[in-house]
Amino acid sequence: MKITKFILPLIFGLMGGLIAFFVAGEWKADSRASFAKHELIGPGMPRPVVHQVLDEGESGGAGSVDLRMAAKKTVPAVVNVKTVQMGKEYYGSPLDFWFGIQPQVREVPRNMGIGSGVIITEDGYIITNNHVIDGSDHLIVTLNDKREFEAKVIGSDPNTDIALIKIDAEGLQPIEYGNSDDVVLGEWVLAVGNPYNLTSTVTAGIISAKARELGGKMNLGSFLQTDAAVNQGNSGGALVNSRGQLIGINTAIQSPTGSYSGYSFAVPVNIARKVVGDLKEYGKVQRAVIGIRMGELTPSVAKELDVDAQYGIYVGEVIKGGAAAKAGLKEGDVIQQLNGYEVKTVPEFQEQLAKYAPGDAIQFVVNRAGKKKVVDLVLQSSFGDIAISESDGVLGAKVETLTQQERYRYRLSKGVKIKELRDGKFKSAGLTEGYIILKINDTVVHHPEDLERAIKAVGDGGIFVTAVNPRGRVEYFAFSLQD
């Protein structure tokens, strides 16, 4: 009896231990299996990892999107852009000065930079950023297959920070254009470029915001914002969607340190595509204006102005003689659509307007005193005409901004250099290629657009030109615009 009382608890204890052992083993195995399905992407932040090839056209949600095909299509179309700024170096014996011997001078590389570019045609046209190539004397483009080419600048636009360059090559693999208007918040994107000279680097993220206004030196007020990692060297590279279509040109980051810290910004491809098209065809960007002073309408502003609308672009003033005045747009109108695209903010409105050129016909839907009205409008240039400005230049002169080296050489902070000169008023007055135009009458010239504006303002009157010749001496020229 005593033995039974001792043995039975022992047996039950052993059975309980065995059961507990097997249950614990099964729980531990389940835990291991569960943990193996996750990848740590941050402290205490596991996420399921699923490798699934999607059907064509499917973008998928978080954890299911496959970006491998997009990367495969994009990487061959993204190039490395090296920039070189040249400087002068004096050499010779220190005794040359005492013997009246002129010191020898040679050009040597002073500064080198890196950036990225995107191939857009099979014959070598490439988009990049203006700030990548600005002030450079030589551009070296390295393709994904390691071939190197010297590139030339076709044109650039500081306002949008877009530039077009060209290499002498054939049979390249251009990128496929997408539509930045179709981009939606939360959409997966890839940033492809050469950060810190690490070629063909691919990073992923989502679209964090659209029509983002950065302020500061950025004249363009409508960027795509993404959390795909972008660093120095990514500038001019591609932002593509999950189908490998170009939707933006990576341009800027927001960072207190100069390195990526969360957000980056890209010029929408619809703007970049229009800019490079203008640079290729006309040599300059054709900017259209409508001739209004505007502001963003919010519910509080609508209440203050007693406007019967909740969103849109409020027309505060209609400029006399402008496109809006000719189309019948009125002060107090609220623009709510531009060619079928809903506009709620000024950056959205400017992004849509930037896609058009002088002479293009567009259609507004406006709210006027609580009623919807359709307004048809023909866009004008900043000079009030609707004609495309050709690349032949002004009065026979095609000019360009000064390089950093030229500014240093001539000690100038202003002026445009005559790049090409055909028969016209400037040539008849005695100017030649290489002259730097500083002023037209009393108007200081900083950019080619300033020269056009100054000539336009004179009308049929007389022109007094202040210029610097290639030897650095100031000269003056005068002529009349009347035949």
Residues 6+ apart with CB under 8 A from 214: 221, 223, 252, 254, 265
Residues in the chain: 483
Q: Is residue 5 part of a domain?
A: no
How many Å apart are CA 203 and CA 143, to the nearest integer?
Answer: 19
Same domain, 194 and 136: yes
- Output the pLDDT for position 383: 56
CA-to-CA distance for 48 and 34, rounded, in angstroms? 10
pLDDT digits 0-9 by tens, 367-383: 998 889 999 999 987 65
Structural element, H or E, at residue 218: none
- Region 57-70: mean pLDDT is 66
Active site residue 51: no
The answer to whether residue 120 is domain-embedded is yes
Do 83 and 200 belong to one domain?
A: yes
Q: Do 264 and 319 fall into the same domain?
A: no
The Cα 223–Cα 250 span in angstroms is: 10
Q: Is the pTM here over 0.75, yes or no? A: no
In-domain check, residue 78: yes
Structure confidence at residue 386 (pLDDT)? 54
DSSP 230-292: --TT-TT-EEEETTSEEEEEEEEEE-SSSS-SSEEEEEEHHHHHHHHHHHHHHSS----B--E
Q: Which residues contact 25 (CB under 8 A, 6 or more apart)?
A: none
10 pLDDT higher than 70: no
- The per-residue pLDDT for 409 is 83
What is the pLDDT confidence band of residue 50, given thresholds at 50, 70 and 90? very low
Residues 43 and 134 in one domain: no
Residue 3 lies in a domain: no
- In the residue annotation, 376 being an active-site residue is answered as no
Last residue of a domain, one of 282, 310, 335: 282
Contacts of 30 (CB under 8 A, 6+ apart): none
Of these residues, 116, 131, 333, 389, which one is catalytic? 131
Calculate the CA 219 to chain-centre distance. 11
Instruction: Give yes or no: residues 272 and 146 share one domain.
Output: yes
Same-domain status, 275 and 309 = no
State residue 192 phi and psi, 5-degree precision.
-120, 125
Q: Is the pLDDT of residue 43 over 60?
A: no
> What pLDDT sits at residue 455?
82
The predicted structure's pLDDT at residue 373: 93
Q: What share of the chain has pLDDT > 70, as a percent?
A: 77
The answer to whether residue 255 is domain-embedded is yes
Question: Which among 378, 407, 425 is the end of a domain?
Answer: 378
Domain of 300, CATH number, reads: 2.30.42.10
229 and 325 in a single domain? The answer is no
435, 367, 118: which is closest to 245 by C-alpha? Answer: 118
**Mean of pLDDT values over 61-69:** 73
Distance CA 118, CA 132 (A): 13
pLDDT in tens, 78-125: 999 999 877 766 666 666 656 666 666 666 667 788 999 999 999 999
Asked if residue 4 is part of any domain, the answer here is: no
From its phi and psi, is residue 384 left (phi > 0), alpha (psi between -120 and 50) or beta?
left
Domain assignment present for 442: yes
Of the two residues 116 and 388, the one the predictor is more confident about is 116
Contacts of 277 (CB under 8 A, 6+ apart): none
Which is catalytic among the residues 235, 242, 264, 381? 235
Higher-scoring residue by pLDDT: 4, 436: 436
Residue 115's domain is classified under what CATH number? 2.40.10.120
Q: How far apart are CA 239 and CA 243, in angstroms?
A: 11
Task: Check if 161 is active-site.
Answer: yes
329 inside domain: yes
- CA dihedral sign, ordered 7, 9, 13, 15: positive
* Residues 362-371, mean pLDDT to the nearest whole number: 91
Three-class secondary structure of residue 163 per DSSP: strand
Please indicate, yes or no, whether residues 138 and 261 belong to a single structural domain of this protein.
yes
Tell me: the pLDDT tens digits for 460-477? 678 889 999 998 889 998
Catalytic, out of 157, 161, 278, 450: 161
298 and 267, same structural domain?
no
pLDDT tens digits, residue range 214-248? Answer: 765 556 778 999 999 998 889 999 999 999 999 99
Q: According to the model, what pLDDT value does residue 97 have?
A: 59
Domain carrying residue 356: 292-378
Average pLDDT, the chain: 80
Residue 195 and residue 149 share a domain: yes
Of the three residues 317, 345, 378, the one that is the final residue of a domain is: 378
Total count of domains within the chain:
4
Tell whether 319 and 207 lie within a shared domain: no
Do 364 and 292 form a contact (C-beta atoms < 8 A)? Answer: no
Whether residues 344 and 258 fall in one domain? no
Average pLDDT over residues 135-146: 91
Measured distance between the N- and C-terminal CA atoms of the chain, rounded to whole angstroms: 136
HSE-CB at 224 with a 13 A cutoff on CA atoms is: 35
